[in-house]
């Protein structure tokens, strides 16, 4: 439902307790600044386990959820806001919980007929003890975001990442071992049922990892990354029009498949004009 900025008090949730807390703090400040510029009354909340009590005091009209990772994107905060009957941005409880779990999300996408890269989900110790797929392959936590804990095992690597066997590993006991798909990473945002064009994010790091995401916009020299947005026609000048159009069609189907509402970013690897695979994040 529409909100009148002059009459609307927005609580921006940021921070939280996940491994992605630093990214959430940065994005939360940026979102609060943008909302304030539109005339909304803003209260920024560094979300903790006392969030319900804080919201009861703040009494916002609506919550803008800028939390990342565990607690913020997995249906937990969404469930709390449903119970408190506070409207909030982004997807609901079911879609959030499914989309945050890579194994469950892939099951939904496969059932919807989307092309998905091969994978196996195992205990982290098993993944750290032997090669479970032909090299190169990727190892990632099942339920983390922002590329936290992602490793690429290259052709010449003799063993899997030793970090998976570490006693202080705190990113979940189950990991996904996934076929590596080289190529450019394209992301398409979906607003309602409308694809909003294509964005490519470029980094000089080995992969678009947590640090690259954290320093997005601060320049490649700082180990960060930069984004480049372009429309369908501009993409066609560089790549194949059919692939880009199909890319946007995929993005239209993913929100319906997972139950996401309002907006949804989905990532696809582009390998060229003759072959491509999708890898929803």
Q: Is 49 exposed, middle or buried (0-12, 13-18, 19+ CB in 10 A)?
A: exposed
Q: How far is CA 14 from CA 54, 75, 167, 277, in A?
A: 13, 15, 29, 33
Q: Where are the domains of the chain?
A: 5-90, 118-179, 183-278
The pLDDT score that the predictor gives to residue 197 is 74
Residue 184 pairs with which residues in a beta bridge? 270
CB 81 within 8 A of CB 68: no
Q: For position 185, what pLDDT does the model report?
A: 77
Q: What is the pLDDT along the chain (281 residues), one digit of tens a residue?
A: 678 999 999 999 999 999 889 889 999 999 999 999 999 999 999 999 999 999 999 999 999 999 999 999 999 999 999 999 999 998 899 999 999 999 999 999 999 998 899 999 999 999 999 999 999 999 999 998 878 899 999 999 999 999 999 999 999 999 999 999 888 777 777 777 777 777 777 777 777 777 776 665 454 444 444 555 444 334 434 444 345 444 545 444 554 555 555 555 556 566 554 334 444 44
Predicted TM-score (pTM) of this structure: 0.76
Is 3.40.640.10 the CATH classification of the domain at 5-90? no
What is the bridge-based pairing of β-strands 263-270 and 276-278?
A: antiparallel
CATH architecture of 118-179: 2-Layer Sandwich (3.30)
Q: Which CATH number fits domain 183-278: 3.30.565.10, 3.40.50.2300, 3.30.470.20, 3.40.50.2000?
A: 3.30.470.20
């Amino acid at each position: 439902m529409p909100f009148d900025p002059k009459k609307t008090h927005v609580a921006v949730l940021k921070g939280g307790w996940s491994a992605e807390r630093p990214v959430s703090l940065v994005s939360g400040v940026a979102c609060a600044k943008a909302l304030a510029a539109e005339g909304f009354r803003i209260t920024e909340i560094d979300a903790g386990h006392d969030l319900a009590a804080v919201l009861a005091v703040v009494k916002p009209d609506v919550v803008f959820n800028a939390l990342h990772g565990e607690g913020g994107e997995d249906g937990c905060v969404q469930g709390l806001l449903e119970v408190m009957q506070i409207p909030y941005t982004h997807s609901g409880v079911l879609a959030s919980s499914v989309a945050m779990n890579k194994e469950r999300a892939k099951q939904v996408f496969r059932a919807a007929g989307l092309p998905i890269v091969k994978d196996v989900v195992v205990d982290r110790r098993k993944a750290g003890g032997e090669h479970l797929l032909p090299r190169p392959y990727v190892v990632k936590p099942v339920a983390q975001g922002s590329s936290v804990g992602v490793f690429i095992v290259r052709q010449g690597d003799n063993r899997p990442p030793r970090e998976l066997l570490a006693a202080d590993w705190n990113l979940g006991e189950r990991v996904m071992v996934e076929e590596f798909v080289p190529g450019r990473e394209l992301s398409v945002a979906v607003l309602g049922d409308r694809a909003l064009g294509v964005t490519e994010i470029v980094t000089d790091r080995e992969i678009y990892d947590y640090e690259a995401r954290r320093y997005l916009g601060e320049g490649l020299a700082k180990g960060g990354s930069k984004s480049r947005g372009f429309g369908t026609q501009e993409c066609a000048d560089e790549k194949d029009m059919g692939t880009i159009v199909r890319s946007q069609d995929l993005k239209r189907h993913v929100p319906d498949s997972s139950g996401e509402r309002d907006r949804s970013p989905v990532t696809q690897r582009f390998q060229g004009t003759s072959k491509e695979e999708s890898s929803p994040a």
